[in-house]
Amino acid sequence: MTVTSVVRDAEAKTMTITARFDAPIGRVWQIWSDPRQLERWWGPPGYPATVTEHDLAPGGTVNYSMTGPDGDRHGGWWRVRAVDPPQTLEFEDGFAAADGTPSPHTPTAVIRVALSEPAGGGTHMTITTTWASDEAMKQMLAAGTDTGMTAAVGQIDELLGLPARA
């Protein structure tokens, strides 16, 4: 498995995914720094991404759009917070309308990418997603952890006579 671990932490509101690639660190950095390579993996299957702006400098912007199988368009943006090639990249990630305008009501997340060279060769990539402490997101994260559902959803299940969820 290339993905070596996935850790969800509701307290810290993070999800951390670690992967190992059989390629040198400079090569793995390119999948972030080269917009043409980024386009090939960022969008889910059937939703190819087109990167229209790509400025990997502090304060810089990355804009992209994805076109779905029904011609539906989905926009997204990054605001770069920190960059230190070929080791770290940190950016705020958000939804945008089809025309690229950031959507004001959707939660944003900060994504931190850390590349390192483990003993034995290859590259480790750690992706840490941290959500803004907006209330809806807190609910969602607490609900998504293994420790259980939010109190609200737990109560709803109880009220409806549904079995408790693990």
Which residues, other chains included, contact 149 with Cβ-Cβ below 8 Å and sequence gap of 6+? 142, 143, 157, 165
Work out whether 124 is an interface residue with another protein (CB under 8 A).
no
Virtual torsion, Cα 146, 151, 157, 163, nearest 10 deg:
40
Helices (H), ranges, the chain = 25-33, 35-38, 135-144, 151-159
Q: Cβ 136 to another protein, closest distance in Å?
A: 4
Q: Cβ 28 to another protein, closest distance in Å?
A: 7
Which residue in the block uniquely carries the two structure tokens 């090639």?
Answer: 85
CB 17 within 8 A of CB 126: yes
Q: Cβ 75 to another protein, closest distance in Å?
A: 9
Q: Pick from 33, 126, 129, 130 the residue near another protein by CB under 8 A.
A: 129
* Dist CA 57 CA 1 (whole Å): 32
Toward another protein, which CB reaches closer, 35 or 83?
35
Site for another protein, residues 68 to 97, rule: CB under 8 A: 68, 74, 76, 93-95
Binding site for another protein (CB under 8 A): 2-3, 6, 8, 15, 17, 19, 21-23, 27-28, 30-31, 36-37, 39-48, 66, 68, 74, 76, 93-95, 103, 105-109, 111, 125, 127, 129, 134-137, 139-141, 143-144, 149, 152-153, 155-156, 159-160
